[in-house]
Amino acid sequence: MKHAANEKHKSIGVLQTSGTELKQRISDLSAKREALLAKLKQVEEALTQAQQEESQLPDALKTLQQERCPSPQSIAHEEEAEADGRFRG
């Protein structure tokens, strides 16, 4: 009978220790989750920014290409303006 009581007492001690360890593990994992969520938020913001920049690339490229290589219409317009200037002078 005393042996059974000792075994129960020992089991209670093990369960209490396990409970404390589990509470600490839960606390540690919760803190880790919060840190990961904060990091995820930063990554999502950076991703959104990069996607916005990427979406602006075609327009920026088109603008630069137009500045570098004028269209035939703008070349003709510039030539007309130059011709007008020569005749007026």
* pLDDT exceeds 80 at position 22: yes
Cα end-to-end distance, the chain, whole Å: 124
Secondary structure tally for the chain: helices H, strands E:
2, 0
Predicted confidence band at 69 (pLDDT cuts at 50, 70, 90)? confident
What pLDDT, on the 0 to 100 scale, is given for residue 71? 65
Write out the two tokens for 24.
């600490």
User: Range with the lowest mean pLDDT among 35-44, 55-64, 71-80?
Assistant: 71-80
Please tell me whether the overall predicted TM-score, pTM, comes out greater than 0.85 for this model: no
How far, in Å, CA of 14 to CA of 20, rounded? 10
* pLDDT exceeds 70 at position 37: yes
Q: Could you tell me how far CA 52 lies from the centroid of its own chain?
A: 11
> Domain residues of the chain, as ranges?
2-88
